[in-house]
């Protein structure tokens, strides 16, 4: 006979070697709750499927969320998987796996808008550490780093020549994230003008030169939320970064690598946040006809429309088609700010060309 409490204690010692402290605290809490409910002296071999099912039912009746119940179930299932390994041999089968859990509600991924981010940047510029706080915001949005990953970045982890940055994720797994030019400029400004010198090697420090913790970071974002009224937490920036990278053309597999997800299904949840308009833009960018045929004579011949198609491809211009009072209209947008409308693509592109020429002459 092996008592449940003793067996759980042995398991947690083994478990601690392979997971983060946060995961360890969560698993310990869930397993200790089950031990208290079942009884520490109960023989592991005597615990049946009905016992686990009754426990899960009680958790649901207590009003615990489906997410919490699923997390408890996962912790128990991992425990019984360990019990059934030949080396341990405390149970013949995993009695937890067959117990159903409540479905998780499908929640929309919450993100920031461009205007909200601009307002948060403005508010960050009015804090006691404006350069640090603005650098934190752009770093989070650019890299989709988790709170713990940002706090663990050292100054030497950032390559200011390439923009590559090393972060340490869950279970101490290292990966690279990528910091773009504007974010690198914000980081350099913070390092040169505001960061305390000769203190901790971490990139982001408190005013007293101590390494920033997740709680410090959360406090900074909470104060920005109070200033602006905009909901603000580290994971919100991670969600926003993921969605915007998808909208910008990054594949879900590339995003998985950037986010440090082990399971592609975890990354796929971001696809549900994409709108029809996002798909339309990507369809125009990735059209094989546009890439293979373009303005060549093989399909539509050498015409003003063909030239216009080629010009749009060369300038990464977004093209939209609409009907106004029964007449077709074409709108061309270049660089996200210069727009021109016409009765045909050729006319819209011609107008866009002239606007660009006037702009260049005026510089």
Each residue's pLDDT tens digit, 324-347:
555 667 777 776 666 778 777 778
Structural domains in the chain, CATH included, are 4-83 (1.10.150.130), 114-274 (1.10.443.10), 284-362 (3.30.160)
Q: With 0-12 CB in 10 A as exposed, 13-18 as middle and 19+ as buried, what is 203?
A: buried
- CB within 8 A of 144, min separation 6: which ones? 177, 237, 238, 241, 242, 245, 258, 259
User: In this predicted structure, what is the pLDDT of residue 221?
Assistant: 96
Q: Quote the CA–CA distance of 260 and 249 in Å, as a whole number.
A: 18
Q: Residue ranges of the chain with pLDDT lower than 50? A: 292-301
**CA 83/CA 91 separation, integer angstroms:** 5
Please name the residues in contact with 122: beta carbons below 8 A apart, sequence gap of 6 or more: none
Average pLDDT for the chain: 84
Res 291: pLDDT? 52
> What are the residues whose beta carbons fall under 8 Å from the beta carbon of 332, sequence distance 6 or more?
312, 317, 318, 319, 339, 340, 341, 342, 345, 348, 349, 351, 352
- Check residue 266 and give its pLDDT: 77
Backbone angles phi, psi at 91, to 5 degrees: -150, 150
Q: What is the pLDDT of residue 299?
A: 45
Could you give the CA distance from residue 259 to residue 139 in angstroms, rounded to a whole number?
14
Q: How far apart are CA 318 and CA 286, in angstroms?
A: 12
pLDDT digits (tens, 9 = 90+) for 186-223: 999 999 999 998 889 999 999 999 999 999 999 999 99
Largest CA distance in the chain: 88
Q: Residue 300 has what pLDDT?
A: 44
List of residues 6+ apart from 240 with CB closer than 8 A: 111, 112, 117, 141
What is the spatial distance between Cα 47 and Cα 319, in angstroms, rounded to a whole number?
Answer: 64
The pLDDT score that the predictor gives to residue 295 is 45
């Amino acid at each position: 006979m092996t008592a449940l409490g003793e067996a759980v204690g042995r398991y947690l010692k083994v478990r601690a070697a392979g997971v983060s402290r946060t995961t360890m605290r969560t698993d310990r809490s869930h397993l200790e709750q089950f031990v208290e409910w079942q009884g520490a002296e109960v023989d592991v071999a005597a615990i049946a499927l009905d016992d686990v099912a009754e426990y899960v039912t009680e958790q649901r009746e207590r009003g615990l969320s489906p997410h919490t119940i699923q997390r408890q179930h996962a912790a128990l299932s991992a425990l019984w998987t360990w019990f059934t390994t030949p080396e341990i041999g405390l149970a013949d089968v995993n009695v937890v796996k067959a117990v159903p859990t409540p479905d998780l509600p499908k929640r929309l991924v919450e993100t920031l808008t461009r205007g909200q981010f601009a307002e948060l940047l403005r508010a960050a510029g009015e804090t006691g550490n404006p350069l640090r706080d603005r650098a934190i915001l752009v770093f989070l949005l650019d890299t989709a780093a988790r709170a713990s990953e940002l706090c663990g970045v050292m100054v030497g982890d950032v390559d200011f020549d390439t923009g590559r940055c090393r972060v340490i994720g869950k279970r101490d797994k290292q990966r690279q994230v990528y910091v773009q030019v504007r974010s690198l400029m914000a980081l350099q400004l913070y390092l040169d003008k505001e960061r305390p010198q000769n203190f901790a090697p971490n990139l982001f420090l408190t005013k007293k030169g101590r390494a920033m913790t997740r709680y410090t970071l959360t406090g900074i974002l909470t104060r920005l939320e109070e200033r602006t009224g905009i909901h603000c937490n580290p994971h919100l920036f991670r969600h926003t970064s993921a969605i915007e990278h998808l909208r910008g053309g990054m594949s879900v597999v590339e995003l998985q690598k950037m986010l440090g997800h082990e399971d592609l299904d975890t990354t796929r949840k971001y696809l549900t946040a994409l709108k029809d308009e996002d798909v339309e833009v990507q369809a125009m960018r990735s059209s094989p006809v546009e890439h293979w045929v373009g303005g060549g004579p093989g399909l539509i011949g050498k015409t003003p429309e063909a030239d216009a198609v080629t010009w749009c491809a060369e300038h990464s211009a977004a093209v939209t088609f609409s009907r106004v009072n029964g007449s077709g209209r074409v709108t061309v947008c270049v660089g996200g700010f210069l727009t021109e409308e016409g009765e045909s693509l050729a006319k819209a592109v011609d107008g866009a060309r002239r606007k660009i020429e006037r702009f260049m002459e005026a510089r």
